[in-house]
Structure 1
């Protein structure tokens, strides 16, 4: 008789490490959606920083943005009145001199890989991430209404941390969002952790660090994102006759 299934097998699904020569031109953006008051308090952000360190270790160029540090006005729903009113640059960026969403737009458009980190808030992503999602409608609408695809050949991955909440619900919403924008998702698109139902958050980080499945997922998120980004760049190079990562 076959052996009974007793859980996920550790170590057999490791994604091969990319060739560092192929990683040097890959631009990675880490976007933190945590609302914690001080840097270093957020567990999702800690895991994001660890991912960026691993990307950098492969030779990728990394950038980190914390949504909480930026003044980002709400989406005012211009699309609901008329799709033609949802433009890029975003009307809120034009209307409010102190709006800093353009920093996010520029960083997203410049990256090859976007890793979005969010805590789970009542079975959903954070309010900061929701504001980011809604303001990114200016990018998505450029394609759906104006026929201008602004997100092309880019990779998106997620880090999701919660307590007694549903990772799959949050991941499903965000993967749908990234798909509409035009992002590709890698073989391993999510690194996650959910705490125990005792809700003792004081011991979470030690458990996250000690959870070999979360750590394996994080490693695979990094390597599979790089591999897909390199493959997309090679595809573009073949189509255009230019050189890209991996070309000799």
Structure 2
């Protein structure tokens, strides 16, 4: 099973990423379950603003898209910024929207039979809103959303310490991350055996 994790932190490498730290917990469990996982930090690539799959010379999205289309599972990982998804995550969602009319050889949306999961971190609340926004967008273009397919961490309302600087309830986030891995793998395996059929 191939899994692509898109870390939508605003920080380019080699800066420490709180979102990556929690995503690595999910990745650890995915790999234990036998998945082949690749994580891309989107900020390290020149993903041009737009809604097409290829925005021309210098665009870093087509290479990422190639990995996405080759994957069975997509994990969207983002910090919360002002209570919503990061601008990098929004840019990724806008580029994924470019797949809206793309079809596979059987006439289905190219994202059919792909499963999505979510990792969200933030120093303040907003994680559930972020999951809802991204899940809606991915469902709209054809992804399948597994039950309990997200984990998050935050300090609650108001500013606070970042994930890497706090021990506040990390145990819950990590255990829930293991459940995310198990559930997206289970649904992806089910779709492998019984794929969503083309429209009649």
TM-score (norm 2): 0.87
**Where does 1:1-248 land on structure 2 (aligned, <5 Å)?**
26-39=1-14, 41-75=16-50, 90-92=53-55, 96-142=56-102, 149-197=109-157, 199-201=159-161, 205-207=165-167, 210-236=169-195
Paired positions, count? 194
User: 1: distance between equivalents of 2:116 and 2:178?
Assistant: 15
Distance of aligned partners of 1:163 and 1:135 in 2 relative to their CA distance in 1, 3 Å threshold: same
8 A contact 1:116–1:158 mirrored in 2: yes
Measured on the aligned residues, the alpha-carbon RMSD in Å equals 2.2
Cα deviation for residue 163 of structure 1 reads 2.2
1:196-234 Cα offsets, whole Å, 9 max, x none, are 4463325754425x5322122101000011111111101
User: 1: distance between equivalents of 2:163 and 2:60?
Assistant: 35
- Give the SS at the match of 2:121: strand
- Give the SS at the match of 1:236: coil
Cα deviation for residue 39 of structure 1 reads 3.7
- Give the SS at the match of 1:120: strand
TM-score (norm 1): 0.72
1:48-102 Cα offsets, whole Å, 9 max, x none, are 1221122112221111111001111110x6xxxxxxxx6xxx351xxx3211111
8 A contact 2:113–2:143 mirrored in 1: yes
8 A contact 1:195–1:204 mirrored in 2: no
Q: Which moved more, 1:42-51 or 1:106-115?
A: 42-51
Higher strand fraction (1 or 2): 2
Distance of aligned partners of 1:197 and 1:124 in 2 relative to their CA distance in 1, 3 Å threshold: closer
Distance of aligned partners of 1:236 and 1:148 in 2 relative to their CA distance in 1, 3 Å threshold: closer
Q: Who is 1:244 aligned against?
A: none
Cα deviation for residue 131 of structure 1 reads 0.8
Distance of aligned partners of 1:179 and 1:103 in 2 relative to their CA distance in 1, 3 Å threshold: same
Long gaps (5+) in structure 2: none
Higher helix fraction (1 or 2): 1
8 A contact 1:193–1:214 mirrored in 2: yes
Q: Which moved more, 1:216-225 or 1:96-105?
A: 96-105
Long gaps (5+) in structure 1: 1-25, 78-85, 240-248
User: 2: distance between equivalents of 1:151 and 1:104?
Assistant: 14
